[in-house]
Amino acid sequence: NAGVMQNPRHLVRRRGQEARLRCSPMKGHSHVYWYRQLPEEGLKFMVYLQKENIIDESGMPKERFSAEFPKEGPSILRIQQVVRGDSAAYFCASSQDPWGTQYFGPGTRLLVL
Amino acid sequence: ELKVEQNPLFLSMQEGKNYTIYCNYSTTSDRLYWYRQDPGKSLESLFVLLSNGAVKQEGRLMASLDTKARLSTLHITAAVHDLSATYFCAVYSNDYKLSFGAGTTVTVRA
């Protein structure tokens, strides 16, 4: 019974490059959430997706960030032209239904040099 | 915007003693979660509290919810070393977002 899977676990990028973070939800879960965690802080909501739909992206910066959850395959969080301030841990969570318990993946730790 | 405040942010516990972490939130919600995070790891769900007066217990941890006061507490009984971690409370608002507190970093010393 695999949990939420994220890859890569660690990602190093130079300023201006693109970062692609992947998330496979738990089996049977169709609701995916992305969060960002800065050191010594709590998690900040970024985006909530269902299959092929973005439900709420109010926590995601308008520029350079995008997310998708295609019909087939994992959810992708894409950060274009990364800057040092993008360095953080990015967590994906999934739930079986809205307002259900969210189960978290191991996170992707992004470091921008 | 829903605000969630935890206190204390840092808690140094002595083994064997009891402690409480508080979680206040700013708008009506009847669904509150407690998570645990070990350094460099993901979040582990500890408790889901779904109604006023709800109380859940697991081992040395007990969580309660008072929706009228918009307050949840996480009580630790007879602290032991393996409880050292960061504990987050999180609250659902009406728009499907889960808002997190800043976390309480717990260190248990002998």
Cα distance between residue A65 and residue B88, in whole Å: 26
- Are A102 and B42 inside 8 Å of each other by CB? no
Q: Which secondary-structure segment (H or E) carries B67?
A: none
Nearest CA in chain A to B47: A101
- Whole-number pLDDT of residue A98: 83
Nearest residue to B30 (alpha-carbon basis) of B63, B7, B57, B53: B53
pLDDT at position A25 is 96
pLDDT tens profile A70-84: 999 999 999 999 999
pLDDT, tens digit, 9 for 90 and up, residues A31-70: 999 999 988 788 999 999 998 899 999 999 999 999 999 9
Q: How confident is the model at residue A1 (pLDDT cuts 50, 70, 90)?
A: low
Picking from B87, B59, B91, B93, the residue whose alpha carbon sits closest to that of residue B74 is: B87
Helix (H) or strand (E) holding B29: none
- Cβ contact, residue pair B41, A106, below 8 Å: yes
Residue pair B29/B98 in contact (Cβ under 8 Å)? The answer is: no
| Average pLDDT across chain A, whole number | 93
B31 part of contact set with chain A, CB < 8 Å: yes
Query: What pLDDT was estimated at residue B1?
Result: 78
More reliable by pLDDT, B31 or A88 = A88
| Calpha distance B65→B56 (Å, rounded) | 9
**What distance in Å separates the CA atoms of residue A80 and residue B39, rounded to the nearest whole number?**
28
Which pLDDT score, from 0 to 100, does residue B2 have? Answer: 85
Task: Tell me which residues of chain B have a pLDDT lower than 70.
Answer: none
Choose, out of A102, A103, A109, the residue to mutate when testing the contact with B (most B CBs < 10 Å): A102
Q: Which of A42, A45, A107 has its CB closest to that of B97? A: A45
Strand partners, A93: A33, A104
Query: Diameter of chain B by CA atoms?
Result: 44
